Chain A
Amino acid sequence: EIVLTQSPGALSLSPGERATLSCRASQSVTSSYLAWYQQKPGQAPRLLIYGASSRATGIPDRFSGSGSGTDFTLTISRLEPEDFAVYYCQQYGSSPLTFGGGTKVEIK
């Protein structure tokens, strides 16, 4: 099983600032099958990034993903008020599919 470790656990930032979220895998993720999701309280998750760096439909370009192998990053270039949420990474290259523990981006 591939274990995904997200860091930091929480990030306190102001609107307009840049957010950098990390997702580290315990072994290489096949074909960069790594996705990122955003979840707000009381809502279902929303797909942001798939294939490590491809934005999902309708996702603003301030969200970007990068990385390969075991190290992946989600960057939000300039935080908007609606971006404060919990973010999860997920690998889907091998079974069992696994999620990271999440990073909470909160308003400073």
Chain B
Amino acid sequence: EVQLVESGGGLVKPGGSLRLSCAASGFTFSSYSMNWVRQAPGKGLEWVSSISSSTSYIYYADSVTGRFTISRDNAKNSLYLQMNSLRAEDTAVYYCARGSGGDYNFDLWGRGTLVTVSS
């Protein structure tokens, strides 16, 4: 089955760190760009970060630049997001999403993992 499964979310204090993972299956992971998109409770979608299939290109939203790091392990079919210096405004459901056909629209999404930043 073609799917993405996120893990690693939870409750963390402001200033803390968390590492999200996304396990891919059912498709050739190494051929696709991968992305993180988040959604704060009751709010809209916000793009967080993207990484190309070969890791040659990496992009971040201004709101997370310098604090978050995206990476991937094509041998393990896995995507990661290292989140440091977390703030209350980072509270959201974080979705892993596959880039479609070399572009950066998202044709496959995981169910998401909730990150709550609170003291």
Q: Could you tell me which A residues sit within 8 Å of B by CB distance?
A: 33, 35, 37, 39, 43-47, 50, 56-57, 88, 90, 92, 95-102
A42 to B105, CA, bound (A): 21
Asked if B27 lies at the interface with its beta carbon under 8 angstroms from chain A, I say no
In contact, A96 and B109 (Cβ under 8 angstroms)? no
User: Which residues in A have their C-beta under 8 angstroms from that of B50?
Assistant: 97
- Give the interface segment out of B39-47, B69-77, B84-92: B39-47
Interface positions of B (Cβ within 8 A of A):
37, 44-47, 50, 59, 61-62, 95, 100, 103-107, 109-112
23 cross-chain CB contacts under 8 A: A33-B103, A33-B104, A35-B105, A37-B106, A43-B111, A44-B95, A44-B109, A44-B111, A45-B37, A45-B95, A45-B106, A45-B109, A46-B109, A47-B106, A56-B107, A88-B44, A92-B103, A92-B105, A95-B59, A96-B59, A99-B45, A99-B47, A101-B44
In the complex, the chain A residue whose C-beta lies closest to that of B107 is A47
The winner among A57, A95, A96, A99 for most chain B CB atoms within 10 A is: A96
